Structure 1
Amino acid sequence: MSDAAIDLDDVQGTILRGYRVNLARHFVLTITDAAATGKLIAALVRGDHGLPTITTARRIVPKPAIFVNLCFSASGLAALGVSPEQLASFDAAFQRGATDPASAATVGDVGASAPQHWIGGLDNGAQVHILLSVWATDSCAALESVSARLRAAFVGSVAELYTQDGAQFPDRTVHFGYRHGIAQPTIIGAPPRKRHAPDAQAPVPAGEFLLGHPNAAGGTYRVLPAELSTNSSYAVFRILEQDVAGFEAMLARHAAETGIDTELLAAKILGRWRNGNPLTLAPAMQGTRLPDPELNNFEFVSADPATDDTLGLKCPIGAHIRRNNPRDAAVIGTDSTHHRILRRSMPYGPQYDQTRPDQHARGLIGYFINASIRNQFEFLSSEWNRASDFVKSATGPEGPAAGNAVYNISGEDVLVGVNDPARSSFTVAGKGPKGSANRTLHGFSRLVTTRGGVYCFFPSIKGLLFLAALPAAGAERPLAQSST
């Protein structure tokens, strides 16, 4: 199948589109009657009985008030009748699930973030079968109206374990104050997105996000049965609580200790100023926010000393954006094109007011979308966010006397790493051989705690109809035997 041959009417919309909405509600569901759930799925695909229709990747004009998408855990697919032999063809991480000890250890869901501490029944992965997500453009009334219709339709088919809302802030920032949703990959064959900041990197093959299409390695991810193997995708759903007071206190402490301006330190940790401007393009001061087409139009390596940042003198090599997307920097293993992910997230909880501290839970909620959880989400979480030895030896245009990249990174990602004050660190690089001019900061605590997670499978529209018919096709068996 060609990269350009994406049937937009067969792809669930959130995979290829950022909806640019202000509200979200995520329903965590368990199947109580497989046959009735099949009928519910079919009704959602077709928009029957007054239910909202599953949103596809085809752009709708005018923009609707509501978008809806549906995904399943491995336990959910089994409950609907996908056989153990068929599930064995799915991504190995997806089969394990988010609550599996191996998954948790890989992505750093340990300590307070361990699955046994998760909220809303998400600690028991076997009972989490379906995630149904509703996004509303800007109307609370529309969201509540759709939610009421959905809850009425749930009766007799699924039970609601938990519901978590999200809401965008007016300036599209997250609780740590950074503008988010900037750096999304450009996908070959996908429709252009409004307000998308073009990436200086080459576009990514569709198979990095959709099964049945060629991926960056030249292969194709497929599953059994064949009805689920084209235009489907995987995602990792996460509820990530952010310690905003701890973050601001950390910035103030290290700024006082080092003399680095607080906002510059915040920019060094992320790789962008809080208004979104990348340090690579604005290394000295935040300035007025750059136009959207410029925010993502940069690389880290150049033959020109004026624009090169091989050593991380502008954007630290350990900065969050550089760990998650090294772009053209030299890293061990395959390049960043093989590990890109799509992010569909928004804040939950009230904005933090430093003048009136409170104990409200707040953070980010949403999906990390990819065609291989193991090669994309888990790889980023374990190899690049939590390690510092993935950087290859590299010097810039000025040669070894100016430094080498391997000496200019330490510790784990300050924002999402598993940081312990006794051993955590972050390197601010200086110009000099073998890191001799570097400044290393220590004593970071964990700033983000996982409160819930699900490894999900987003079937294509045809795949949803296949799953809807599966229980009635003779795959009935007791739910107790269908959980993985």
Structure 2
Amino acid sequence: MFLKNLFKRTSEKIELHDIQAIILRERPLPYHGVNVFLEMQDGQSGKAFLKELLPYITSAKNWWDSDDAWLSVALTYEGLKKLELPAATLESFPDAFKKGMAARNQKLMDINENAPEKWEAAFKDSRNHIAVSIVAKSKAELDAKRQIALHILSNHAGIKLRFQADFDTPVEGNFNHFGFRDGISNPEIEGSGAEQLNSKERPIKAGEFIFGYTNEAGNHYPMPQPFEFARNGTFVIFRKYHSHVAAFNKYLSEQAKSKDEQELLAAKMIGRWRSGAPLNMCPFKDNATLGADITKNNDFDFSNDQSGKLVPYSSHMRRMNPRNSKMAVMSDVNLHRIIRKGVGYGPALTNGSTKDDGKERGLYFIAFSAKAMETLEFLQKEWVNNGNFVSLKNERDPMIGLNEGKGTFTMPGDPLPKRFIGMPTFNTLKGGMYLFIPGINAIKWMSEVSL
């Protein structure tokens, strides 16, 4: 696996053996997996279940070797309450985490099409307590791990299976449902051991993502108590999106005449060609070799494109990581980064089809941050659903913004910019939740702690 060659054991400074693998480990290619959501009937059942599952939870030790399947576990605030943790520990969690994602919908711009009342039933109540996630490189390995988890589950009558959400690589070669290469541009974490792939960026302090380490400000973010419980854990963002791929293809066909023009518009909306090649490195034609090269496809900044004529300011890639763009509303980009581990679900749509086949397909957006709730609220309200920070008024992200048939996308050019109007919402939110993913030792503590 290529990641083995990008790892420097001498730079390992964080406690990988106590951090769950999913936070750092890259998905295998192809990938297959399942998210299992469980309900706890009582705290003793929950503790017994976690204790039996503990030996199978995969740590981030040797995280660069993604050949093996791995299993992780996280809990919602309602799950932590059901586990009957000490009152002081429960009280130490942030209010946004306690209230849950649905209750914060106004701050997240989860309104109208994306409003909680329109979410799937599984996300509308507080009975999702434990989430078990399994990722593997083959269906056989996935099924083997799944059977272990289900066998353990069968030993605990007080733990009920709510639902399973299977996922896998949507399109061969790690492309998402819209046909773009996926999994590019995660931040490099100081002390994780990964070699720096972007010569224009420096690794970000581990404390931005994992509790117990120094953050970008040189201190520690507020964390759940006691310290030993929080250390090497973090918060998880989980959001399910339905992707309207046919609507995306239809919009391209309506806005651009030729196939080449449609591909250029799609690339401008994303900031990359479908291969993953960044526009500012090859602005006129896709370069599949560059797009597939992990050592090069993210090694850039926007110093050669401050006007946005190569990569529009409103493109998805530039909004979510402005790098060194000159923004109207200044912000430290490193404070708003997240580790993204999203995965696709559902069958691929027939290539280029503009007719919806009625099948469920989309993305499970999974991300990690030591201040996940605050970061997501900022990203959703300011960078995704607002354009003021790049002088584009109320223009929204073309791919994940709430555009509702009224969206506008601006493509700078000479002598005048081009504006594309009437853009629909291409990804509709179907549900979401916040979770806490503990360190390995914290799971042991939770399985044994008593009031």
TM-score by length of 2: 0.90
Aligned-pair CA distance for 1:133: 0.2
Whether the 8 Å CA contact 2:408–2:419 is kept in 1: the answer is yes
- Residue by residue over 1:198-233, the C-alpha shift from the partner in whole angstroms, topping out at 9 and shown as x without a partner, is 363121100111011111122212221223221111
Partners of 1:131 and 1:91 in 2: CA distance: 20
Query: 1:344 deviation in Å?
Result: 0.8
CA–CA separation in structure 2 for the residues paired with 1:288 and 1:150: 40
- Which whole-Å CA distance do the structure 1 matches of 2:177 and 2:230 have between them? 38
Matched, 1:343 2:344: no
Residues 60 and 282 (structure 1), Cα distance of their counterparts in 2 relative to 1, 3 Å cut? closer
In the TM superposition, what whole-angstrom CA distance separates every residue of 1:183-203 from its partner, at most 9, and x where no partner exists? 11111000227xx85363121
CA contact (8 A) 1:199 1:296 kept: no
**CA spacing shift, 1:417–1:330, aligned 2, 3 Å:** same
State the one-letter code of the partner of 1:315.
Answer: V
- Is residue 430 from structure 1 mapped to residue 413 from structure 2 by the alignment? yes
From the CA coordinates, give the structure whose radius of gyration is larger: 1
Identity of aligned residues (%): 29
Q: CA deviation at 1:294?
A: 1.1
Match of 2:397 among 413, 427, 440: 413
* In structure 2, distance between residues paired with 1:293 and 1:95: 40
- Whether the 8 Å contact between 1:240 and 1:365 is mirrored in structure 2 is yes
Aligned residue for 1:108? 109
The residue aligned with 2:8 is none
* Partner residue, 1:480: none
Q: Please point out which of 321, 325, 329 is paired with 1:325.
A: 321
Please give the alpha-carbon distance, in whole angstroms, between the structure 2 residues aligned to 1:259 and 1:362. Answer: 24
**Structure 1 residues 11, 62: CA separation in 2 closer, same or farther (over 3 Å shift)?**
closer
Partner of 2:423: 444
Name the SS for the 1:377 alignment partner. Answer: helix
Label 1:199 to 1:413 Cα distance change in 2 as closer, same or farther (>3 A): farther
Structure 2 distance, partners of 1:16, 1:220, is 20
| Alpha-carbon RMSD | 2.2
Gaps of 5+ in 2: 1-10
AA aligned to 2:411 is V
Q: Residue 234 of structure 1 aligns to which amino acid in structure 2?
A: F
SS at match of 2:410: strand
Question: How many positions carry a matched residue from both structures?
Answer: 431
Q: TM-score, normalised by structure 1?
A: 0.84
Distance 2:376 2:109 in 1: 12
Letter of the 1:30 partner, please give it: E
- Corresponding residue SS for 1:6: coil
SS at match of 2:434: strand
After the TM superposition, which residues 117-128 of structure 1 pair with which residues of structure 2 at under 5 Å, given as runs?
117-119=118-120, 121-124=122-125, 126-128=126-128
Deviation at 1:342, TM superposition (A): 0.9
The residue type paired with residue 243 of structure 1 is: H
Partners in 1 of 2:429 and 2:305 — Cα distance? 33
Amino acid of the structure 2 residue aligned with 1:352:
L
- The answer to whether the 8 Å contact 1:383/1:390 transfers is yes
Alignment pair present for 1:157 and 2:136: no
1:397 match: none
1:267-312 Cα deviation digits (max 9, x unpaired):
00000001000011111111333022110011112xxxxxx11110
Deviation at 1:106, TM superposition (A): 2.4
What one-letter code is carried by the residue in structure 2 that aligns with 1:200? Answer: K
Match of 1:77 among 57, 76, 80: 80
| Superposed CA offset, 1:38-67 (max 9, x none) | 122122222xxxxxx101111179755421
Tell me if the contact between 1:92 and 1:374 (Cα under 8 Å) persists in the aligned partners.
no
The structure-2 alpha-carbon separation of the partners of 1:117 and 1:153, relative to structure 1 and needing over 3 Å to count, comes to farther
Moved more, 217-226 or 445-454: 217-226
Check the 8 A contact 1:27/1:163 in 2, yes or no.
Answer: yes
Residue 11 (structure 1) shift? 0.4
Could you tell me which residue of structure 1 aligns to residue 275 of structure 2?
275
CA distance in 2, matches of 1:296, 1:363: 24
The residue identity in structure 2 corresponding to 1:45 is L
Residue 265 of structure 2 aligns with an amino acid whose one-letter code is L
- Show the 5 A alignment for 1:195-234: 197-198=197-198, 200-221=200-221, 222-234=223-235
**What SS class does the counterpart of residue 286 from structure 1 fall into?**
coil
The residue that corresponds to 2:70 in the other structure is 67
Which amino acid in the other structure matches residue 213 of structure 2? H
Q: Is the 8 A contact 2:321 2:337 kept in 1?
A: yes
Cα distance per residue 1:78-104 (max 9 Å; x no partner)? 11123454333223322221121xx22
- Give the aligned partner of residue 304 of structure 1: none
Q: Which moved more, 1:75-84 or 1:11-20?
A: 75-84
1:266 CA drift (Å): 0.3
2: CA distance, partners of 1:91 / 1:214: 19
Aligned partner of residue 176 in structure 2, secondary structure: coil
Secondary structure (helix, strand or coil) at the match of 1:71 reads strand
Aligned partner of 1:386 in structure 2 is 385
Per the TM alignment, residue 261 of structure 1 is displaced from its structure 2 partner at its CA by 0.2
The DSSP-based 3-state class of the residue aligned with 1:121 is helix
Q: Deviations over 1:133-167 (max 9, x none)?
A: 011121x2332233233223223131111111111
In structure 1, the partner of 2:173 is: 171
2:50 aligned counterpart, secondary structure: helix
The one-letter code of the counterpart of 1:463 is: A
CA distance in structure 2 between the partners assigned to 1:464 and 1:238 by the alignment = 24
Q: 2 CA distance for matches of 1:431 and 1:449?
A: 34
Q: Distance in 2 between matches of 1:142 and 1:287?
A: 34
SS in 1 for 2:110: coil
Q: In structure 2, how many angstroms separate the alpha carbons of the residues matched to 1:210 and 1:45? A: 20
Question: Which amino acid is 2:153 matched to?
Answer: F
- The one-letter amino acid paired with 2:75 is F
Match of 1:250 in 2: 251
From the superposition, tell whether residues 357 and 384 of structure 1 become closer, same or farther in structure 2 (CA, over 3 Å). closer
